[in-house]
Structure 1
Amino acid sequence: MDVREIIFENVKNETVKAEIKADNKGLIAGADGIKEKLENLDLELSHFVKDGEEVEKGDVVVSFTAKPTVVMEVKEIIISTLSKPSGAAFKAYEASLEASSRVKITSSAWEKMPIEVKDRFKNAIETGGISSTISKKPYVWVDNSLVKIFDGIYPALKSVTPLKEKGYQIVFQTTGEIKEIYEEVKEASEGGADILMVDTGSVEDAIKVIYCLNELNMRCHKKVGFSGSINIKDISKYASYGIDILDIKDKIIDSPPLDLKMEIIK
């Protein structure tokens, strides 16, 4: 039983105009995926935002006319679908502005989201102007598990060489757990890794990787990435260290949602 039918029994045939407005600044993400769903409902849609639109407090996101039960259904759809992705998109946008062209910003955290919302957050990240992947090219990830399976860095990298020959880039996870960082960097670089991704949470390790590459005269041929809980305000500082890629995780995906509220206009 839909309780809305009971609540609105005495006004079920009336039509009302409603607006859903932004209650803070944000960047719309996820709108394109739900417009068709709204158009299948019994309503008259007079305004609907598009993905990538910036909104300020008080801006109308959706304006429509419908019967009360449909009004409440639309409210539920809009708020549950747009709020969180739009918050992530806005934070991604802030990160892209902070980075400018000094460092590549990406956020791969969407890959660990529940499957039913993965694409929604991937779209939000890209709507915000940053990449959802470490590399534009297809890539293969060589982590500690693969290294342990093949009993060494060189054998692990050799196992993915056929993919490199097909245009894939090799991303090597540098942790200092298999060997000292200098030895990991040396073997990974000589073994064909294109990107050395520091996934320790310590930016000092990324600086150490850059130092090692310079010592090996291989810096110009390799990219260095750093992944972790990176604050947007620290992007400039990390860029000054010479890091090529910053994979910002929770600070984007777990950012505050875009607050939305509905007003009934009679």
Structure 2
Amino acid sequence: MSKINTATAFSQTLFSSVAGECRAVVEATEAGVIAGLDFIQPEKLLSSDSGQEAHAGHWNIKVQDGQWVEAGEPLIEVIGSATELGITEDYIMGPLGFASGIATRAKVFQDACPEGLTISCGGWKKLPSPLKPLLRAGLVSVGILPRLVDGDFVYLSKNAVLLLGGVGEAIAAGVAMQHGPVAVQVKNVAEAEFAVEAGAGVIMVDTGALEDLAAVHERLSSLGCRDEVTLAFGGGARLEDLQVIRDLGGQAVDVGRDILNAPLFDLRMRVIPE
């Protein structure tokens, strides 16, 4: 017996004596940004153990992705039987809480972002597959990029460079794909200079050391090629680093754990007494 069927059957038995229609509201218990509404499906039907369809009730969604809400604000009204309300709670809180937590934390970064700098959060690779779409929904709702730069490009990680035989070979392979500029991770000035000469369009200083970013910017500027490439930075970037990164020549920054570690957005589902 599946967990879904078990939960449905349990709810049906537990609430079998409750007649009529019930109403509940899902509320925010704190202020923040809502995201992930596409991942809650009021029309979804659940199969019960008896083979009959168990509805999740009727949902009236009162907010939109990207909307700022205050503590106590109703987000979703749920109308249905007691069994349906019991089932529904399991399908709203998780997706909405995770995506909205990401969105709320990401908005702090977006609001602090100086002009001329874009923020991405590429650490989705480190999350379990089921959470990746919810992370993306949270980021997009506030304008944070899910990838290093907007539009088509070819990203070459350190491992990709090693697998392809070196920086030059990797960039050549990326250029041959004809899928936009090639972005490559570098550790120092020499690697950055070589990458630009090899045809890279995005230089990613991925050391987490601001002095490395400054040195690469200075060297590329002295070579007169600074306008030809986008300079990005990553590796433990923090909120307080954003202005410094821009001042040192950074045009894009990848933020990882400071967004990925966002707490769940706190929600509650409250039954409204008749």
TM-score, length of structure 2 as denominator length: 0.86
What SS does the corresponding residue of 1:18 show, helix, strand or coil? strand
Aligned partners of 1:32 and 1:50 also within 8 Å:
no
| Count of aligned pairs between the two proteins | 258
Structure 2 Cα separation of the partners of residues 47 and 141 of structure 1: 38
1:3-18 equivalent positions in 2, closer than 5 A: 3-11=10-18, 13-18=19-24
Alignment partner of 1:218 is 2:232: no
2:78 is aligned to 64
1:171 is aligned to 183
* Candidates 247, 258, 266, aligned match of 1:259: 266
Aligned partners of 1:194 and 1:222 also within 8 Å:
yes
Alignment partner of 1:240 is 2:247: yes
What SS does the corresponding residue of 2:182 show, helix, strand or coil? strand
Aligned partners of 2:213 and 2:249 also within 8 Å:
no
2:107 is aligned to 93
Please give the per-residue CA displacement for 1:205-230, whole angstroms capped at 9, x wherever unaligned. Answer: 21221122123222121111111222
Structure 1 Cα separation of the partners of residues 64 and 45 of structure 2: 15
Please give the per-residue CA displacement for 1:226-265, whole angstroms capped at 9, x wherever unaligned. Answer: 1122222332232222211011111112211110012111
1:103-114 equivalent positions in 2, closer than 5 A: 103-114=117-128
Structure 1 Cα separation of the partners of residues 98 and 39 of structure 2: 14
Letter in 1 for 2:162: K
Structure 2 Cα separation of the partners of residues 228 and 160 of structure 1: 23
**Bigger Cα displacement from structure 2, 15-24 vs 228-237:** 228-237
Structure 2 Cα separation of the partners of residues 35 and 20 of structure 1: 14
2:40 is aligned to 34
Q: 1:100 to 1:74 in 2, by over 3 A?
A: farther
Give, in angstroms, the shift of residue 142 of structure 1. Answer: 2.5
- Structure 2 gaps of 5+ residues are 1-5, 47-54
Aligned partners of 2:149 and 2:252 also within 8 Å:
no
Structure 2 Cα separation of the partners of residues 72 and 114 of structure 1: 27
* Candidates 57, 63, 66, aligned match of 1:52: 66
Structure 2 Cα separation of the partners of residues 82 and 251 of structure 1: 20
Structure 1: 4+ residue segments shifted above 4 A: none
Q: 1:265 to 1:187 in 2, by over 3 A?
A: same
Q: 1:172 to 1:63 in 2, by over 3 A?
A: same
Structure 2 Cα separation of the partners of residues 84 and 102 of structure 1: 29
1:153 is aligned to 167
Aligned partners of 2:184 and 2:195 also within 8 Å:
yes
- Structure 1 gaps of 5+ residues are 176-180
**Fraction of identical pairs, as percent:** 24
Q: CA RMSD in A?
A: 2.1
Alignment partner of 1:123 is 2:137: yes
2:31 is aligned to 25
Q: 1:152 to 1:228 in 2, by over 3 A?
A: closer
Structure 2 Cα separation of the partners of residues 70 and 80 of structure 1: 17
What SS does the corresponding residue of 1:128 show, helix, strand or coil? coil
Give, in angstroms, the shift of residue 186 of structure 1. Answer: 1.4
Please give the per-residue CA displacement for 1:143-174, whole angstroms capped at 9, x wherever unaligned. Answer: 333433454322332232322xx342111111
What SS does the corresponding residue of 2:37 show, helix, strand or coil? coil
Aligned partners of 1:39 and 1:45 also within 8 Å:
no
Structure 1 Cα separation of the partners of residues 56 and 263 of structure 2: 32
Letter in 2 for 1:170: V
Aligned partners of 2:102 and 2:262 also within 8 Å:
yes
**Bigger Cα displacement from structure 2, 39-48 vs 189-198:** 39-48
TM-score, length of structure 1 as denominator length: 0.88
Q: 1:185 to 1:100 in 2, by over 3 A?
A: closer
Structure 1 Cα separation of the partners of residues 77 and 225 of structure 2: 57
